[in-house]
Amino acid sequence: MTHTQNTPAQQILNLMDSRINEMMEKIVSNMVEEHAKRNQQFKPTARDFMIVKYGLVIDLLKSVEKYTLSTDMVTKLHDYVSPKGFTISATIERDGQEYKYSTDVIIAGGYNIQCLHYRYITNTNLPRINTSFDMVNEMKAGLKKVKAEKRIEDEIQYKKNAIERDEEALAKLRRITKEDIILKDAYYTKKYEDLPQGHSWESEKEFLDWQMEILQNAFDSHQRSIRWRMESIKSFHKDIEKLRIKLTNLK
């Protein structure tokens, strides 16, 4: 978000940089608190902070660029704390004439909007102009890029969490022995003579063959579960590698 031009928008943005950082911190902190109220955990990443900052900067620049030209001169500029937030005050010279410009930055939030946010209310005798919103458009492009990176970052984290779950499940499966499987169902150890009257097996051999078959099926099913978890972990690792390449290509 670094620029070198000396337009009114850039000068105001430079003045507001530290305040914007403070606003960003407050908003992200509020997001964490709102998630906690819903018993949800939110761990903000660097890109979460960037997305919030871009939003703040874009709203600020909109309030400036809709009234100012790149050729305007800023002769006075300062900011101060106000009852509802703070105010940016400037004197802008255009074609030898001075104009007053001020923007109140108001902390907002309420019944319908739980998340803390900021509003910019502009007062000026500058005429509203048909502007190209150069810096706004530049910031929007930056925001779009960061959001795309954030989506990939979230997908990577989702797959990492999935790998962690699969590894935990795999560890549990590997701790299960054949003896554990045998003891899981009474029919795996039941003897022919203990079967209730009226059973469908015509001989002990037929019963033992069936018992061996279902036991082998249980062993095979257990091995399939292990292989499935291993393949799942392998697949997620491949997906993460592809996503990291995609993320690198965005930069």
pLDDT tens readout for residues 62-85: 999 999 988 899 999 998 888 778
Q: What is the mean pLDDT of residues 158-174?
A: 97
Tens digits of residue pLDDT in 49-59: 999 999 999 99
With cut-offs at 50, 70 and 90, classify the pLDDT of residue 1.
low
**pLDDT greater than 60 at residue 22:** yes
What DSSP assignment string belongs to 66-104? TT--TT-EEEEEEEEEETTEEEEEEEEEETTEEEEEEEE
Q: Read out DSSP for 198-236?
A: T-S-SSHHHHHHHHHHHHHHHHHHHHHHHHHHHHHHHHH
Strand 73-82 relative to strand 97-108: parallel, antiparallel, unpaired?
unpaired
**181: which residues sit within 8 A by CB, 6+ positions away?**
188, 215, 218, 219, 222
Q: Give the alpha-carbon dihedral of 23, 24, 25, 30, to 10 degrees.
A: 90
User: Which class for 127: exposed (0-12), middle (13-18), buried (19 or more C-beta within 10 A)?
Assistant: exposed
pLDDT greater than 60 at residue 3: no
What is the predicted pLDDT for the residue at 239?
A: 97
In the chain, % helix, strand, coil (3-state, to 5) comes to: 60, 15, 25
Q: How large is the angle between the packed helices 8-37 and 46-65, nearest 10 degrees? A: 140
pLDDT band at 250 (very low <50, low <70, confident <90, very high): confident
pLDDT at 113 over 80: no
> In this structure, what DSSP letter does residue 169 have?
H
Q: How confident is the model at residue 108 (pLDDT cuts 50, 70, 90)?
A: confident
Angle at 130 between CA 128 and CA 133, to 5 degrees: 100
The amino acid that residue 215 corresponds to is L
Q: Give the pLDDT of residue 130.
A: 65
Q: With 80 as the cut, is the pLDDT of residue 112 above it?
A: no
List pLDDT tens digits, range 9-19. Answer: 999 999 999 98
Q: Are 77 and 111 in contact (CB under 8 A)?
A: no
What is residue 5's predicted lDDT score, i.e. its pLDDT?
67
What's the pLDDT at 116?
Answer: 72
Instruction: Give residue 29's Cα distance to chain centre.
Output: 14
Q: Is the pLDDT of residue 237 over 50?
A: yes
pLDDT at residue 70, as a whole number: 86
* Residue 140 reports pLDDT greater than 90: yes
Residue 115 has pLDDT above 70, yes or no: no
β-sheet with 117-124: strand ranges across = 73-82, 85-94, 97-108, 117-124
Query: Residue 90 corresponds to which tokens in the numbers above?
Result: 């400037």
Tens digits of residue pLDDT in 82-91? 877 889 999 9
Tokens of 24: 């960003």
Percent of the chain with pLDDT over 70: 94
- The confidence band for 117, taking pLDDT boundaries of 50, 70 and 90, is confident
Single pTM value for the model:
0.75
